Chains A and B, each alone.
Chain A
């Protein structure tokens, strides 16, 4: 069953994580930044599930369910806030949302 070694999963999740962090740092669109944050969360989820399966334990998979719920809540809150900003500014580019200096 464990035909694919755990390292493969870990490398993939590390790659996803890096993509997520890089995206947060270089992208300027608030929605894309959000997607990158989701990518980070999902890479952690992947690690967790992989380890859970590798160790033969359920705790990691339970954790993933919670994380998915939280991610959904975060996305809801985040999109609501972005909409609130878009109504005022007609932009979601964070360089233009700059009453305070970043």
Chain B
């Protein structure tokens, strides 16, 4: 590989390089200046901002980097396209919010002396995610997935303040290890059948007439296990409630938004580059017959949202309830993929933007309340509407948005999913999704009920958020409401971001 080619290839991974550099700087800074830990978060934000700048820069071009000599058409390990850039930008933006999120987290502040490790691990996750969303080679996908997973195992049990932290960590690790083992075995089968690990090269090979379809299906189900675990879709969701409840709230929020988005990006890229032959003019994808993704995803998505919503009904811990709600949302998001069309993909991207806003918002407020009361139990929210008016109203709006009621952003997200479904003539599926929404209404409204309708036996101490915290809530709250009535920019952005290289 000559030097000019190397420079060109490196220019494709500038954001990844920046994140890696930031990671190293944070580790070194932590080692050298261990009295100035206060600066580390700002370093993190600066690193993310620079990475974000390069990602925005990448929106203008497409390309493939690090092609191995054996691969034709120059499809390499890393693919730069608008779709990947969208998710990279998404991950970076969420990470910036998470850094500010961590400022207010009492759990993280209690382990202040390990702040360097904390941010190093966060950056490990970020690096894993942004490589994952642009990787187009099974080797790199596996590595990125493991980088993401290993960092998050540690973060889930990072604070070690309570037994439940370590337990969450262990459960996450066991489930993660098993599912990555299954995925790896699936990858090895695919490698054996096609002789390549590049997604783009697998595509034509899967169209070969004498392929053993049962083996392909088996391998794909194994690979889906690994992805399904990341997006916490049923039946690979078992870790989700325990880890979400046990991990520090910051990490829970991060896992529920960014990690899920990376998993979805991987799933979409895998299906689209490996299984789609062409996109018809009205936006529908023609899939290779080797494996019926649509049937699998319909079953999985219906199962996921039904299970998530119904189990959330009897949760008394708010974190755990939101964990099940995030499982249900994974189900809704999968619906956007079920239709196998550009409309559906647009709907997923739109949904993710809104989901990030409302889910982070809800977790943030739960964290502020837990900082004060030390509890996430729903009974402790009784009468909170008057004790903490601003937090109460904000949480109410985030929950209403998660339910998907107008005029909030959550409604628009669901609306686009429904439009995609109806357009694909899957009205029965749309109706099942709708029944699920009604079920979800019950448990979201239950929180409102506790906050506003029920009287608490003992008067509650007022919870007054600081100016910075109010500002942070407003950053999430204002768009949640604003995008509920005016969402054209997000839709335009999403429509421009659905192009994957080669399709």
Contacts and interface: CB of A to CB of B under 8 A. Distances in A.
**A and B associate:** yes
A51 B70 CA distance: 17
Contacts of A55: 192, 195
A55 B192 CA distance: 8
B163 A88 contact: yes
B167 A40 contact: no
A44 B142 CA distance: 12
Contacts, number: 124
Contacts of B168: 100
A88 B153 CA distance: 18
A57 B153 CA distance: 34
A67 B191 contact: no
Interface residues of B, number: 42
B185 A43 contact: yes
Contacts of A102: 238, 242
A50 B154 CA distance: 34
A44 B179 CA distance: 13
B178 A40 contact: yes
Contacts of B178: 21, 24, 37, 40
B221 interface: no
B107 interface: no
A40 B242 contact: no
A66 B185 contact: no
A97 interface: yes
Contact of B185 (A40, A54, A74, A78): A40
B153 A73 contact: no
Contacts of A73: 146, 150
Q: Is the interface of B mostly helix, strand, loop or mixed?
A: helix
Contact of A100 (B142, B167, B181, B192): B167
A46 to B, nearest CB: 8
Contacts of B170: 30, 81-82, 85, 94, 97
A16 to B, nearest CB: 10
A20 B40 CA distance: 42
18 contacts: A30-B174, A33-B174, A34-B177, A40-B184, A44-B188, A50-B192, A51-B192, A60-B188, A63-B187, A63-B191, A63-B197, A66-B139, A66-B143, A74-B150, A77-B153, A80-B154, A81-B154, A88-B163
Closest 6 pairs between A and B when the two form their complex, measured CB to CB: A40-B181, A51-B192, A47-B188, A37-B177, A100-B242, A44-B184
Interface of A: 10, 13, 17, 20-21, 24, 30, 33-34, 37, 40-41, 43-45, 47-48, 50-51, 54-55, 57, 59-60, 62-63, 66-67, 70, 73-74, 77-78, 80-82, 84-85, 88-89, 94, 97, 99-100, 102
Given A59-B197, A99-B164, A99-B246, 11 more contacts: A30-B174, A34-B177, A44-B181, A48-B192, A50-B192, A51-B191, A60-B191, A73-B146, A97-B170, A99-B163, A100-B168
